[in-house]
């Protein structure tokens, strides 16, 4: 039956562990941020901040994204996942690798542990990439959205490859440039190539579906695809080969123009939406899309930095990373968790009961009250960090850190409320 994807959905045992690991990682991340204390205001490449970044992007964001992607593949590619068994193996391998990698950074063991941890991480991500690529091979639906997803997976592999080379260089010292040069490439490809492209591909599918909006101009997504990827390719070629400063100005211009086409697509979807009232999941999602303008402004500061003090620029670079990892990615994940996980759990528990008994609605599987309190505290966290980073105020960083801990606790309460939900069976009248 064309277009019906429920039968292609993987078993919840493939997806749910990713949400559990991701939620616990968010909690660990919040604790590490509290422990890191003033390191957060120091140079962006200090060991504590690098460890926190990897827990954030791999343990928290990527793990949830992997789980969600296994569920969304049937929607975006219109085919079943290539191998559920491989996905389960990948989960455990990635989970151990993320912990090993983050620990190596946290204790600063760049020579003894990091090279091995990074190889484990690379291999585990390679398994994920292989599973998605083989799924795409069987895809019946190949459009601009699925192309975004598959391209993002390709960039994830390149990110990991560069990351592994940097890690191995600490032991074998074979790279010609300083580590920071490669770190810039690693971070840019990871944040833009992996996360932003994935967000565009999945967001362009899910957001209009959840807002119930139709007749959108997909041409905008095609422009976005070529501009963002064009920017990334120019970046890689320039940073590896030419190192031309003038070309450095072109890279953000291409990427920002591309992302603006996506923002415009989402804005159309928002304007044409049937459902006027946004639930908590969509409130988060819309905020995340709006927050995309913050890194646009910051990258301007970074590229044009000529007269700023080096400490200030370091904090702006941290703020730039923060605005993407938290402002965009985390905000979106927090929102989309409330849109996807209730359905995954609901389908698993109630699919066979619909029509036979009265079933709850998916949104009734979590506490909306907790989700609403969580979003307010999340604002406190974001606002405190923005002030702390811009004005070098440790007190605000501390307030923000504890706010994030509260957010993580509330998020975990809701996640476990959904996962441990017991079927309520009431016979129909």
Partner 1 sequence: MTKEEITQFELELLELLKNVMDPEIEINIVDLGLIYELNYDEGKGEVDIDLTFSTPSCPLGETIISNIKETIAQKHPSIYTNVNVVFEPKWSTANISEEGKKILGM
Rg over alpha carbons for the chain, rounded to the nearest Å, is 21
Judged by CB under 8 A, the number of residues near partner 1 is 34
CA–CA gap between residue 104 and residue 97 (Å, rounded) = 10
Asked if 362 is part of the footprint of partner 1 (rule: CB under 8 A), the reply reads yes
For CA atoms 265, 268, 273, 278, give the dihedral sign: positive
Q: Establish if 4 lies at the interface with partner 1 (CB under 8 A).
A: yes
* Among positions 27, 347, 387, 406, the unique one binding partner 1 when judged by CB under 8 A: 347
Distance CA 167, CA 165 (A): 5
Stretch that binds partner 1, among 196-204, 249-257, 300-308, 350-358 (CB under 8 A): 350-358
Tell me which long-range contacts 222-227 makes (C-beta under 8 A, separation of at least 24): 222/144, 223/258, 223/261, 224/200, 224/258, 224/259, 224/261, 224/262, 224/265, 225/144, 225/147, 225/148, 225/151, 225/200, 225/258, 226/258, 227/254, 227/255, 227/257, 227/258, 227/261
Shortest reach from residue 351's CB to partner 1, in Å: 5
> Looking at 105-113, 225-233, 237-245, 344-352, which segment touches partner 1 (CB under 8 A)?
344-352
Is residue 428 at the binding interface for partner 1, with CB under 8 A as the rule?
Answer: yes
- Per CB under 8 A, contacts with partner 1 among 81-140 are none
365 binds partner 1 (CB under 8 A): no
Among the listed residues 173, 245, 361, 422, the single contact to partner 1 using CB under 8 A: 361
- Interacting residue with partner 1 among 306, 355, 391, 420 (CB under 8 A): 355
Which is nearer to partner 1, 13 or 392 (by Cβ)?
13
Q: How far is the CB of 22 from partner 1 (least distance, A)?
A: 20
**412, containing H or E segment:** helix 394-419
Among 141, 253, 278, 370, binds partner 1 (CB under 8 A): 141
Query: CB of residue 12 vs partner 1: minimum separation in angstroms?
Result: 13
Binding range to partner 1, per CB under 8 A, among 248-256, 275-283, 299-307, 403-411: 275-283
**Rounded Cα distance, 412 and 325, in Å:** 19
Residues 6+ apart with CB under 8 A from 219: none
Least separation in angstroms between residue 5's CB and partner 1 is 5
Beta-ladder partners of 426? 358
State the minimum distance, in angstroms, from the CB of residue 87 to partner 1. 18
Asked if residue 335 binds partner 1 (CB under 8 A), the reply is no
CB of 148 closer than 8 Å to CB of 259: no
Candidate segments 117-125, 306-314, 356-364, 393-401, binder of partner 1 by CB under 8 A: 356-364
Longest dimension (CA), the chain: 75
Nearer to partner 1, 5 or 53 (CB): 5
Asked if residues 139 and 78 have their Cβ atoms less than 8 Å apart, the reply is yes
Q: Does the footprint of partner 1 cover residue 67 (CB under 8 A)?
A: no
C-beta separation of 53 from 191 below 8 A: no
Of 74 and 321, which has the nearer Cβ to partner 1?
A: 74
160 makes contact with partner 1 (CB under 8 A): no
Name the DSSP letter for residue 134: H
Burial class (CB in 10 A: 0-12, 13-18, 19+), 322: buried
In the complex, the smallest distance separating the C-beta of residue 139 from partner 1, rounded to whole angstroms, is: 12
Q: Least distance from C-beta 212 to partner 1, angstroms? A: 6
- Name which of 4 and 241 has its Cβ closer to partner 1: 4
Measured CA to CA, the distance from residue 306 to residue 313 in angstroms comes to 10
Contact 82, 138 (CB under 8 A): yes
Q: Does 210 bind partner 1 (CB under 8 A)?
A: yes
Interface map 214-253 toward partner 1 (x if CB under 8 A): x---------------------------------------
Nearest to 285 by CA among 342, 323, 328, 345: 328
Contact 5, 75 (CB under 8 A): yes
**E strand or H helix that includes residue 358:** strand 357-358
Regarding 346 and contact with partner 1 (CB under 8 A), the answer is: yes
Q: Which of 105, 116, 196, 118 is nearest to 152 (CA)?
A: 196
Q: Please identify which residue in 173, 174, 246, 276 interacts with partner 1, judged by CB under 8 A.
A: 276
The one among 23, 68, 78, 223 contacting partner 1 by CB under 8 A: 78
- For partner 1, the binding residues (CB under 8 A) are 1-7, 9, 74-76, 78, 141, 205, 208-210, 212, 214, 274-277, 343, 346-347, 351-352, 354-356, 361-362, 428
């Amino acid at each position: 039956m064309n277009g019906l994807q429920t039968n292609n959905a993987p078993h919840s045992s493939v997806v749910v562990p990713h949400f559990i690991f991701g939620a616990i990682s968010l909690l660990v991340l919040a604790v590490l941020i509290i422990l890191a204390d003033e390191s957060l205001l120091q140079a962006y490449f200090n060991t504590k901040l690098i460890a926190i970044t990897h827990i954030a992007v791999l343990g928290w964001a990527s793990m949830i994204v992997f789980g969600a992607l296994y569920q969304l593949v049937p929607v975006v590619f219109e085919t079943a996942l290539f191998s559920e068994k491989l996905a389960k193996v990948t989960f455990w391998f990635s989970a151990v690798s993320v912990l090993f990698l983050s620990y190596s950074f946290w204790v600063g063991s760049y020579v003894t542990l990091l090279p091995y941890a990074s190889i484990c991480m690379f291999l585990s991500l390679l398994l994920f990439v292989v599973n998605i690529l083989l799924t795409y091979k069987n895809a019946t639906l190949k459009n601009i959205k699925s192309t975004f997803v598959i391209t993002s997976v390709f960039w994830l592999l390149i990110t990991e490859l560069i990351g592994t080379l940097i890690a191995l260089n600490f032991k074998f010292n074979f790279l010609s440039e300083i580590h920071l040069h490669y770190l810039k490439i690693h971070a840019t490809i990871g944040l833009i190539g992996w996360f932003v492209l994935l967000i565009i591909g999945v967001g362009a599918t899910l957001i209009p579906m959840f807002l119930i909006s139709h007749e959108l101009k997909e041409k905008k997504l095609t422009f976005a695809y070529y501009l963002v990827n064009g920017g990334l390719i120019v970046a890689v070629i320039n940073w590896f080969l030419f190192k031309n400063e003038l070309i450095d100005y072109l890279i953000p211009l291409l990427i920002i123009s591309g992302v603006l086409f996506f923002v415009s697509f989402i804005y159309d979807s928002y304007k044409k939406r049937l459902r006027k009232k946004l639930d908590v999941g969509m409130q988060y999602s819309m905020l995340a899309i709006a927050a995309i303008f913050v890194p646009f402004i910051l990258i301007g500061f970074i590229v044009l930095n000529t007269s700023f003090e080096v400490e200030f620029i370091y904090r702006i670079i941290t703020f730039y990373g923060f605005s993407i990892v938290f402002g965009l990615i985390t905000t979106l994940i927090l929102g989309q968790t409330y849109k996807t996980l209730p359905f995954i759990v609901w389908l698993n528990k109630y699919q066979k009961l619909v029509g036979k008994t009265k079933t709850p609605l998916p949104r009734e599987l979590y506490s909306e009250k907790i989700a609403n309190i969580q979003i307010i505290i999340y604002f406190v966290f974001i606002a405190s960090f923005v002030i702390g980073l811009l004005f070098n105020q440790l007190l605000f960083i501390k307030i923000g850190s504890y706010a994030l801990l509260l957010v993580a606790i509330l998020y975990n309460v809701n996640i476990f409320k959904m996962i441990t939900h017991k079927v309520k069976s009431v016979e129909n009248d």
